[in-house]
A = this chain, B = another copy of it.
């Protein structure tokens, strides 16, 4: 085992977990009313953003070959909503966020360093041979940035309430 490889995985996992924790802290601060009030008129609510992050976690379960999705039926409402499927109730979206975190975190803990540098399920073996950066760890870097993107929005909502 190469210790540098282990170090990479630790750096990326630390960043992922720290961002999850920041989001959890923000969720705890939000009241029921704040959760259900759009950030700007006609825009997403914090509750929907949290449900969206949960659904993206769930997609990661299949992308990283960790196991089946917890709630495949939520994808249409929470990934690319076209209005045809109503999002679940707020309490269910928050539960989904916590459940999906626990699920992917537990499964990811069992991946070896070599697994992390292996291909994700959406890249072919041929393409992966040419582009070895398209590995599982790269997906986690990308998903951590995705969490940060929406954390920036959640923080703003709370700042609005504090002001």
Contact = CB atoms under 8 A, between A and B. Distances in A.
A8 B10 CA distance: 12
27 contacts: A4-B5, A4-B8, A4-B117, A7-B133, A8-B137, A10-B133, A11-B135, A12-B141, A14-B133, A15-B141, A15-B145, A19-B145, A40-B40, A40-B163, A41-B163, A43-B159, A141-B141, A144-B145, A145-B145, A148-B148, A149-B149, A149-B151, A149-B152, A150-B152, A152-B152, A152-B153, A153-B156
Interface string A1-34: 0101101101110110001000000000000000
A39 interface: yes
Contacts of A135: 11
**Chain A interface, DSSP helix/strand/loop, else mixed:** helix
Interface of A: 2, 4-5, 7-8, 10-12, 14-15, 19, 39-43, 117, 132-133, 135, 137-138, 141-142, 144-146, 148-153, 155-156, 159-160, 163
A63 to B, nearest CB: 16
